A and B are shown apart, each in its own frame.
Chain A
Amino acid sequence: DPKIIQKPKYLVAVTGSEKILICEQYLGHNAMYWYRQSAKKPLEFMFSYSYQKLMDNQTASSRFQPQSSKKNHLDLQITALKPDDSATYFCASSQLGGSETLYFGSGTRLTVL
């Protein structure tokens, strides 16, 4: 059973629209992350959250907003979508103070037309 669930697996959006990427982790970890992967940047850190609080934000654009309704959920809302946002978005989790190894979901591939 996958321990980190990302939905949807594939997403097609039109320029200017808004989408929410879903992530839930069932590993009991205390930290969650969003990463982006594209041909331009192999693996780009976006956000980290611990106990539903933002730890680090490396995303320049405010169009990307993480949302944490529960400690094992970290969704990613993207507004005013642009073709350049096309990428695969990975959610990950880890146990800070433990092994700290990141566990990744299988990703959401976003295509913006």
Chain B
Amino acid sequence: QQKVQQSPESLSVPEGGMASFNCTSSDRNFQYFWWYRQHSGEGPKALMSIFSDGDKKEGRFTAHLNKASLHVSLHIRDSQPSDSALYFCAARMDSNYQLIWGSGTKLIIKP
């Protein structure tokens, strides 16, 4: 069964620090990746998508994809209390539209 392994399960970062999340896919056919964020009491919201190897930067958020190592990561610099949330990676293959989700990382930003 296709899987996306996400780590760590939880993360505590001081305000202003760097938060990093990782996902490793089980299948080389995963081609498209997204990062979603979910604040308590809300639905998940897309942060970034990344489809090509390398880095993609949007403001304080940087995603990195290495398809050869089946690895995608998300880094948040200058973390703010409002970044405290649950973060998910999601991936899909070229051959179908089904998204495979990681298990989530709970991020707590300490003031």
Contacts and interface: CB of A to CB of B under 8 A. Distances in A.
B34 A96 contact: no
A42 B98 contact: no
Given A100-B32, A101-B34, A43 B101 contact: yes
Interface stretch (A12-20, A60-68, A74-82, A104-112): A104-112
Interface in A37-95: 42-43, 45, 48, 55-56, 90, 92
Contacts of B36: 102
A43 B44 contact: yes
Nearest to B49: A101
A56 B99 CA distance: 11
A99 B41 CA distance: 26
Contact of B97 (A43, A48, A103): A48
A42 B45 contact: no
A21 interface: no
A95 to B, nearest CB: 11
A92 B90 CA distance: 14
A92 B32 contact: no
A48 B43 contact: no
Nearest to B90: A102
B42 A106 contact: yes
B6 to A, nearest CB: 9
Nearest to A58: B98
Nearest to B34: A101
B103 interface: yes
A45 B44 contact: no
A41 B86 CA distance: 13
Contacts of A107: 42-43
A43 B90 CA distance: 11
A55 B104 CA distance: 25
Interface of A: 4, 31, 42-43, 45, 48, 55-56, 90, 92, 96, 99-107
10 contacts: A42-B88, A42-B103, A45-B99, A48-B97, A90-B43, A96-B97, A99-B49, A102-B44, A103-B45, A107-B42
Closest 9 CB pairs of A and B: A104-B43, A42-B104, A101-B46, A43-B101, A90-B43, A104-B44, A106-B43, A42-B103, A105-B43
